[in-house]
Structure 1
Amino acid sequence: MGDRVRAWHPDVPMLREVYHASFAHSYPPHTHDDWAVMLVDRGAVTYSLDRAEHHATPTALTLLPPGIAHDGRPSVDGSGYRKQVLYLRGDWLDAGVAARIADRPTLTNAPAQTAARRVHAALAHPGDEMAAEHWLLAVRDTVLAHAGSSASARRDTPLARRLRAMLDDRYTESFTIAEAAAELGAHPSHLVRVFSATYGIAPHRYLVGRRVDAARRLLGEGCRPADVAARTGFHDQAHLARHFRRVWGVTPGTIRAA
């Protein structure tokens, strides 16, 4: 496995950095200010966290809380590993949760791993930052449940209706769940849970659906796909085409030609 590293800073609330690496590096003991949420895709990493030894493997999601010393090395001498890491602001979770996670940093449940992988998948496509934000909130919920601090969602509420009205009115705009939550006076995780429980769909999916529906009407009127993408809130024509095909099973050009 050749050494390869990529790092970037997406414009997603709470997310400081994304780090992908393939190498056989051994880290000395150190601390950092951020939460590290790590997926190992190949190989395995042995690490000490707060003086206790653990293993990060492809079958688990690993959490490294801020301010707690840890190291890292290949589990098999001479071998390498490939990992994907999300670095999240230190206040992503409170200090009490960090202390509990330090004793249990390994999440083996499928929802936690699936949500983390969907964050990385969304970040691979410009324009899907709200989807990445949604799945980061899903990761947060699985971590809270793992730490014994889960929250429940109510069904139909005025809050959910207010968010739907916002999405309907501003579907062509770019904004985050965190910005919507601040405007509505709610925590982002609570806002997503209430909306999803009330309407059976996540806010980012609802927003994409509104955009795709508007795009379909414009394409039917003969508008060019590039113009439609700009008018309906998509990042670009490729972003429109990917979501349009997922919803309708055909390309925007097919609808326009028909």
Structure 2
Amino acid sequence: MAARQEITAWRPQVAGVVEVFHAHFTEHAYPMHVHDAWALLIVDDGAVRYELGRHEHAIPHDTVSLLPPQVPHNGAPATPQGFRKRVLYLDLTQLDESFIAAAVDRPDLVDPVLRRRVGQLHQALARPGDELEAESRLALIGERLRGHLQPRLVTGPPRPDHAVARTLRELLDERLLQGVTLDEAAALVHAHPTHLVRAFSSAFGIAPHQYLMARRVDRARRLLLDGRQPAEVATAAGFYDQSHLSRHFKRHVGIAPGQYARGGGEGFRRPHPS
């Protein structure tokens, strides 16, 4: 098999994420090296073997691996087909240095919920305009990672904090067009980012980013029915661009904004006036 490598990397506009790195390698092997950030890694195809802290490890596709900063490690394909991986490099605001020793001892985590959330975060980071979703997912991932590295006694589910939830909802309504980052919201509401996400979701049955997008889609619907064009509506409803509007509009309404404005086409009829 010919050696193959495909690499995509970018720096998203999300605090705490230094870099997103996607790669497909069939033969490439990393030498011993270090990073100044945490590497949160999932493997989609194949498997990776690596050494960390003088111990050998392997990453199958159902595992989340957390490689700590400043600790030497390497990496190579563990199968003839190579591997396809996705990596998030997270700065020390997400996990501080106190967690490094625990991560060296147990870098590989078999946690289906964590793995699903990491995959969802990668998807959100690839979509300009969905930064609040990415920040919310990152906050929950950080909480789950800290739980693995520093387990706490389970005391039952937390009670909803309705005051915090209502204050955040008011803020999201107020910032419908310009949006708000999770850190900004946390500072304004005087609550930890993770607590914000959990309190809102528990109180209203919907995550903050989902609420914001639903409100924007509602606004877009009204503007489209007023006869405005989708490109103009995207900006007027708070979306990043027309593509961002179209993706969320179709998810919520079932058809594209242009179709909606024209009456929806086949299977969608406006009522005749009586």
Q: Is the 8 A contact 2:38 2:91 kept in 1?
A: yes
Q: Secondary structure at the match of 1:131?
A: helix
**Which residue matches 2:267?**
none
Q: Deviations over 1:70-104 (max 9, x none)?
A: 2212213x542211100000231133333222222
2:191 is aligned with 1:189: no
Q: Distance in 2 between matches of 1:201 and 1:181?
A: 18
Q: Which amino acid aligns with 2:232?
A: D
Q: Distance in 1 between matches of 2:20 and 2:165?
A: 31
2:223 is aligned with 1:221: no
Q: Deviations over 1:102-146 (max 9, x none)?
A: 222112221111111111111222211221222212221221222
**Which residue matches 1:59?**
62
**Structural mapping, 1:93-112, within 5 Å:** 93-112=95-114
**Which residue matches 1:204?**
209
Task: Find 2:184's aligned residue among 179, 183, 187.
Answer: 179
**Structural mapping, 1:131-150, within 5 Å:** 131-147=133-149, 148-149=151-152
2:246 is aligned with 1:246: no
Q: Which amino acid aligns with 1:5?
A: I
Q: Is the 8 A contact 2:63 2:115 kept in 1?
A: yes
**Which residue matches 1:161?**
166
**Which residue matches 1:30?**
33
Matched pairs, number: 257
Q: Is the 8 A contact 1:153 1:193 kept in 2?
A: no
Q: Secondary structure at the match of 2:7?
A: strand
Task: Find 2:241's aligned residue among 236, 239, 252.
Answer: 236
Q: Is the 8 A contact 1:153 1:190 kept in 2?
A: no
Q: Name which of structure 1's ranges 45-54 and 199-208 shifts more when overlaid on structure 2.
A: 45-54
- Structure 1's unaligned 5+ residue stretches are none
TM value normalised by structure 1? 0.93
Q: CA deviation at 1:34?
A: 0.4
Q: Distance in 2 between matches of 1:150 and 1:177?
A: 27
Q: Which amino acid aligns with 1:224?
A: Q
Q: Distance in 2 between matches of 1:153 and 1:144?
A: 17
Q: CA deviation at 1:213?
A: 0.8
**Which residue matches 1:130?**
132
| Change beyond 3 A, Cα 1:27–1:197 | same
Q: Distance in 2 between matches of 1:96 and 1:142?
A: 16
Q: Which amino acid aligns with 1:138?
A: L
Q: Is the 8 A contact 2:29 2:77 kept in 1?
A: yes
Q: Secondary structure at the match of 1:210?
A: helix
Q: Is the 8 A contact 2:197 2:207 kept in 1?
A: yes
Q: Distance in 1 between matches of 2:210 and 2:204?
A: 11
Q: Secondary structure at the match of 2:9?
A: strand
TM value normalised by structure 2? 0.88
| Change beyond 3 A, Cα 1:81–1:228 | same
- Higher Rg of the two aligned structures: 2
Q: Which amino acid aligns with 1:103?
A: D
Q: Secondary structure at the match of 2:220?
A: helix
Q: Deviations over 1:144-190 (max 9, x none)?
A: 22221489643033211111100011111133111211222222112
Q: Is the 8 A contact 1:18 1:86 kept in 2?
A: yes
**Which residue matches 1:49?**
52
Q: Deviations over 1:177-219 (max 9, x none)?
A: 1121122222211211111111111110010011011111111
Q: Distance in 1 between matches of 2:94 and 2:86?
A: 18
Q: Distance in 2 between matches of 1:153 and 1:222?
A: 46
Q: Is the 8 A contact 1:122 1:132 kept in 2?
A: yes
Q: Is the 8 A contact 2:172 2:179 kept in 1?
A: no
Q: Is the 8 A contact 1:36 1:65 kept in 2?
A: yes
Give the superposed CA RMSD. Answer: 1.8
| Change beyond 3 A, Cα 1:59–1:239 | same
